[in-house]
């Protein structure tokens, strides 16, 4: 297949690589062209715009930053929808808003293009190992056409419903992840304060009914003050902002989400945006910081 | 070995049974004698008091309700320390306070008895399957003497430090578990409100980086409004009360713990004490209830 790929960040570069490794022909675009170098060296064509990446493509993937970026590279001038032909696929793996996913799908349908919102979970590790969970929203036809490609990127590819359902599912994922991470950080702050061997605590509680992926994979990093990113705070803060907006729109009050969002926003404002989400523990180290104590 | 067992609740009955199944001779006491019937039918001796259960015992286990119960059956009149002989073991599997664990250990040491605080994680399922995580605090000698017995009850038996360290570790476990459960309930409330198939969401997010034991084991129960207890809210509320007190004593501010504690206390006050902890989702169904919105 001829595939266009837009956005070569910490995850996109691995995902695009898997498609090439499976024999697909890739045109790749990134705002920072140098990021495309490894893929170009492996045989990809360097595209000059999202639209250019989409010329003649059977499918285009987008994996960019914010919803505004998704809007620009799909619906905007020089965007992929200006080049995609009827019957082709437009698959957005960015975590974005459900409403934008619906708008993109409608615009795509107007051109006979099949759109799928397909945000992922699993971080850079999952992207590299092709073990992502991929949460898809779109028509059965869009899902049917994309499944073969998505299976190259993830170990769980799930059709969650119509356009927007993938993004809604990703919000469920992030609400869960944010609460889990707060639990990890609070638990291990307590452990240290109580004089326990916090690494031993990770092993002790991670294996039981309190266990989580976050504790078992990031707990030791929290203990070691290792904030190297698997998933960056700036991305989590973005995602939680979407989640809070959507929850409000749905009439929901989610206190754990609200806490996590305020703590992550405080860390973002304090310059920790490019640390991993496990740096949330730092927000618990400033009890006098009002951002850390949203209940006061 | 001759073993005394005090407290035959939803977990204790399974745990005591494992010791008998391994060939140990059991004397069992419960405030509600009828609860001992299955063990007595299997050959256990029915004791008339904690002290009676401890006569001639090489080891006594206590698995009761609150710290006040632990204090009564160990340090109180008619308690097990009135009968235990030097060199014997006193193992408290109740989730209790670290400070009481230290007091019990000191009183035990005064009589030459080796004490261990050994709270567990894994719920009734783990108790029945002998797959509990057991978090132990006490001397190396107490740990060495108890390990053989504890291995019959759990798949992970961990020595976390001196007296009280087991209870502190259990607090780490409950802080983690409470945040995780809030994440599960918020995530699935969002899923339903967004019109997703919430069972599909459990499968989608449970397998990835947002996954947790709670989501994978209790998520479907939340979706089905199945509040049958694995672990009851009245016990979680007790544990979180201890955790909040200890955190305050340690100078920690843990906003997720605070949220979970208030929500569980509200559910307890509303009569949900004997529901499983997954009934936390009900607290999110009353956005106008001030107990549900601790931040307002």
Distance CA A282, CA A267 (A): 8
pTM of the model: 0.90
Catalytic positions of B: 170
Domain that holds residue A129: 2-162
Choose one of B162, B195, B223: the last residue of a domain.
B162
Does residue B13 sit in the same domain as residue B151?
A: yes
Choose among B160, B186, B210: nearest Cβ to A196.
Answer: B160
**Inside any domain, residue A81:** yes
Residues on chain B touching A215 (C-beta within 8 angstroms): 176
**Inside any domain, residue A52:** yes
Q: Does A269 touch chain B (CB under 8 A)?
A: no
pLDDT value of residue A286: 56
CATH number at residue B199: 1.10.1040.10
Interface test with B, best of A210, A232, A245 (most B CBs within 10 A): A210
Tokens matching residue A244: 């809070």
Does residue A193 sit in the same domain as residue A156?
A: no
Does residue B112 sit in the same domain as residue B193?
A: no
Choose one of A99, A134, A162: the last residue of a domain.
A162
Distance CA A220, CA A281 (A): 12
Q: Which residues of chain A have pLDDT under 70?
A: 286-296
Could you tell me the pLDDT band of residue B295, with boundaries at 50, 70 and 90? very low
Query: Given the DSSP bridges, would you call strands A89-92 and A59-62 parallel, antiparallel or unpaired?
Result: parallel
Interface test with A, best of B161, B169, B208 (most A CBs within 10 A): B208
At A255-288, the pLDDT tens digits run: 999 999 999 999 999 999 999 999 999 999 754 4
The count of residues in chain B is: 296
pLDDT value of residue B231: 87
C-alpha B127: how far from chain center: 10
pLDDT value of residue A290: 45
Residues on chain A touching B254 (C-beta within 8 angstroms): 186, 189-190, 284
Does residue B221 sit in the same domain as residue B120?
A: no
Tokens matching residue A125: 């590790």
Supply φ then ψ for residue B287, to 5 degrees: -60, -20
Could you tell me the pLDDT band of residue B286, with boundaries at 50, 70 and 90? low
pLDDT value of residue B124: 82
At B73-96, the pLDDT tens digits run: 999 999 999 999 999 999 999 999
**Inside any domain, residue A208:** yes
Choose one of B130, B162, B194: the last residue of a domain.
B162
At B174-221, the pLDDT tens digits run: 999 999 999 999 999 999 999 999 999 999 999 888 999 999 999 999
CATH number at residue B113: 3.40.50.720
Distance CA B119, CA B171 (A): 10
Does residue B176 sit in the same domain as residue B150?
A: no
pLDDT value of residue B253: 94
Does residue A73 sit in the same domain as residue A151?
A: yes
Number of domains in chain B: 2
Distance CA B147, CA B233 (A): 30
Consecutive H or E run containing A133: strand A132-138
Does residue B120 sit in the same domain as residue B189?
A: no
Distance CA B271, CA B14 (A): 27
Selected residues 20-49 of chain A with any CB under 8 Å from a CB in chain B: none
Does residue A9 sit in the same domain as residue A114?
A: yes
Does residue B126 sit in the same domain as residue B177?
A: no
* pLDDT reading at B283 higher than 60: yes
Does residue A131 sit in the same domain as residue A196?
A: no
Q: What is the ipTM of this complex?
A: 0.91
pLDDT value of residue B122: 83
Nearest residue of chain A to residue B281 (CA atoms): A254
Does residue A222 sit in the same domain as residue A138?
A: no
Selected residues 100-139 of chain B with any CB under 8 Å from a CB in chain A: 121-123, 126, 132-133, 135
Q: Does B254 touch chain A (CB under 8 A)?
A: yes
**Inside any domain, residue B288:** no
Beta strands in chain B (DSSP E): 2-6, 25-29, 45-46, 59-62, 89-92, 114-117, 120-121, 132-138, 154-161
At B142-174, the pLDDT tens digits run: 999 999 999 999 999 999 999 999 999 999 999
Choose among A187, A217, A256: nearest Cβ to B182.
Answer: A256
């Amino acid at each position: 297949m001829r595939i266009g790929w837009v956005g070569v960040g910490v995850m996109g570069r691995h995902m695009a690589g898997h498609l090439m490794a499976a024999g697909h022909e890739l045109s790749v675009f990134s705002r920072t062209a140098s990021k495309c170098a490894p893929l170009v060296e492996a045989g990809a064509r360097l595209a000059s715009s999202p639209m250019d990446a989409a010329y003649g493509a059977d499918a285009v993937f987008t994996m960019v930053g914010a919803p505004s970026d998704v809007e620009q590279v799909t619906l905007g001038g020089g965007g992929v929808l200006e080049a995609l032909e009827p019957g082709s696929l437009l698959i957005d793996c960015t975590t974005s808003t459900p409403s934008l996913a619906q708008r993109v799908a409608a615009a795509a349908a107007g051109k006979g293009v099949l759109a799928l919102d397909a945000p992922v979970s699993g971080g850079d590790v999952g992207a590299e190992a092709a073990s992502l969970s991929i949460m898809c929203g779109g028509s059965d036809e869009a899902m049917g056409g994309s499944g073969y490609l998505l299976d190259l990127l993830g170990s769980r590819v799930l059709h969650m419903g119509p356009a927007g359902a993938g993004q809604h599912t990703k919000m469920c994922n992030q609400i869960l992840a944010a609460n889990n991470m707060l639990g990890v950080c609070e638990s291990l702050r307590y452990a240290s304060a109580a004089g326990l061997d916090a690494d031993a605590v990770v092993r002790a509680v991670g294996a039981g009914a309190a266990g989580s992926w976050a504790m078992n994979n990031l707990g030791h990093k929290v203990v070691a003050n290792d904030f190297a990113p698997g998933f960056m705070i700036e991305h989590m803060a973005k995602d939680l902002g979407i989640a809070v907006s959507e929850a409000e729109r749905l009439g929901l009050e989610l206190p754990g989400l609200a806490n996590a969002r305020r703590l992550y926003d405080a860390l973002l404002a304090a310059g920790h945006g490019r640390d991993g989400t496990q740096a949330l523990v730092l927000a618990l180290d400033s009890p006098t910081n009002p951002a850390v104590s949203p209940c006061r």
